[in-house]
A and B are shown apart, each in its own frame.
Chain A
Amino acid sequence: MKVFDCPVIGPRPISEFDYIGEVRRPPMDADEPTWAAYVFNRQGAPGLLREWWYHRPTGRWYVMERDTLKDEVVRFIDLEEVRYDIPA
């Protein structure tokens, strides 16, 4: 059993979580090539990555900073840090 060490609710089986992917900010006013890069490309290099995780039993979303090389959660990110406004 693989355990996901969540800084908020403690160590839980990773089967209780859904991995949603990297936290990203859309390039709102960018040109088409930038948008295409945003849509189709991802950072694959190992290192610190901010990721969305969804814990199904509680129905709660978390943003974690994880070292993808060591597979260790470094810290919990407050959602205020990653929120952005969508242009009207």
Chain B
Amino acid sequence: MIALQVNETERASYLLTGPESSEALASAGLPVPEQVLSAEERSGALVARTGRDEYMAMLKAGVTAPQSEWCFRRYDSVFELKGEGWVEMMAHLCQYDFRQLKPGDWLMTSVAGVNCWLYHEIESGSLLIGADPGYRHYLNETFSAVLGDLSATRNPTGGAS
């Protein structure tokens, strides 16, 4: 069993919009999700469809970036929650019931009061959380505090036995 960890992860983020966005993704060899508010991942690339003609792409280093006039670079802060118990941790941060979030599901909701996108990775089982980089410090602090509280509850020290 892996202990619960929260790490920041490096992903180059892009927003694609306009009628040519799906072609731009396809020609870069990136997946093109069919359903709005769904996502697909493929070898280091995560692409979510956030509107009729709008996509978000989060790419690991080395993955070819899409090229299009209406492709804009984003600088999202991306956190990765991995290990046992992230559902319990998220219950402290968000009102959404994460027991119903299946691997491969994409979600956009409020986490600790911040608008975030979330993705439940299929292979690793980790939860990715992305947000505006202006909230990076706040989210880092909040995640660490909740993680600390949960660890303290699980491993009580001292007191009467």
Q: Taking the complex as formed, is B140 at the interface, i.e. its CB lies under 8 A from any CB of chain A?
A: no
Q: How would you classify the secondary structure of chain B's contact residues: helix, strand, loop or mixed?
A: strand
A9-17, A34-42, A44-52, A70-78: which one contacts chain B? A9-17
Q: Taking the complex as formed, is A58 at the interface, i.e. its CB lies under 8 A from any CB of chain B?
A: yes
CA of A35 to CA of B49, assembled, Å: 41
B57-65, B82-90, B109-117: which one contacts chain A? B109-117
Contact with A along B24-53 (1 / 0, CB 8 A): 000000000000010000000000001100
Interface size on B, residues (CB 8 A): 11
CA of A1 to CA of B95, assembled, Å: 8
The 10 A-B residue pairs with the shortest CB-CB distance, nearest first, are A13-B95, A57-B108, A57-B115, A58-B108, A57-B109, A16-B110, A56-B115, A57-B110, A1-B95, A16-B109
B residues with CB within 8 A of A? 37, 50-51, 95-96, 108-110, 115-117
